Copies of this chain bind each other. A is one copy, B any other.
Amino acid sequence: MAKLVNHDERKQLIAEAMWRVILDKGMEGATVRNIAEEAGLSLGALRHYFCTQDDLLVYAMTLVQERATARIETVVRQKLSPKEMVLAVLYEIVPLNKETRAEMEVWFAFIAYVNHRKDELPIPDDGVWESIQKVIGYLEISALLKKDLDLDLEAERLYSVIDGIAIHALLQPERLDAEKVRRTISHHIDSICI
C-alpha cells in the first residue's frame, strides 16, 4: 500500500475484509487465506496482526458492536422529543439500510458460528438488551408509559419485538420492507405509551 497505515487502522482494514468475505462466501468461506487475499496481504502479514483466526473473529465482532454503539450515541445527541428519540434509537438497531443490513448479516453469521463454543471465546455482547432497558427507563422517567405496566416484562417484550423484526428484515427482505419494520416498531411503542 502506498499510504502509510498504522497498526489499529490495518487491523480495522483486515476486519472489514473479513466482513466482505463473510457477506460473499459465508462463514465457511472465511478462511485466513481468503481474508488475507481480500485484504491484499500475505498470510504472514495477516498473522502479524492476528495470531489466530479466533483473535480476528473476536476483533471483527467487537468492531461491528462498536460501530452500532457509535451510531446510537450520535442519535442520542440529537435534539428530539423523548418518543422521537426512542424510535430513532430503535431504528438504529434493526437493519433498515445497506450499512446496518451488512453489519447485522455479519453479526448473525458470527453468532451462529460461535454459538457452540461461546464459553471458550471472549464474544462481545451486542448491547441490544442494555439499550432496550435504557429505552424503557427513559420512557418511564419521561412519564410516557401507561400506568401499572410491569417494566421488566415490557423490556423483555420490546427486546423480542426488536430482535425478532431485525431477524425477519434480514432474512425475508422481499416480504418485509423498511417501512413496515418502522410501522411495527412505532405501533408497539404507541401500545405501551399514553
**Minimum C-beta distance from A160 to chain B (A):** 3
Say how many copies of this protein the assembly contains: 2
Chain A 155-166 interface 0/1 with B at a Cβ cutoff of 8 Å (1 = within)? 011011111110
Question: Does B168 lie within 8 Å of A160, measured CB to CB?
Answer: yes
Contact A164 B153 (CB under 8 A): no
Known A-B contacts A157-B184, A160-B160; A171 and B115 likewise in contact (beta carbons under 8 Å)? yes
Summarize A's interface: helix, strand, loop or mixed. Answer: helix
A180 in contact (CB, < 8 A): yes
B111 engages A115 (CB within 8 Å): no
Q: Mark A89-130, 1 if CB is under 8 A from B, else 0.
A: 000000000000000010011011101110000000000010
A119 to B157, CA, bound (A): 32
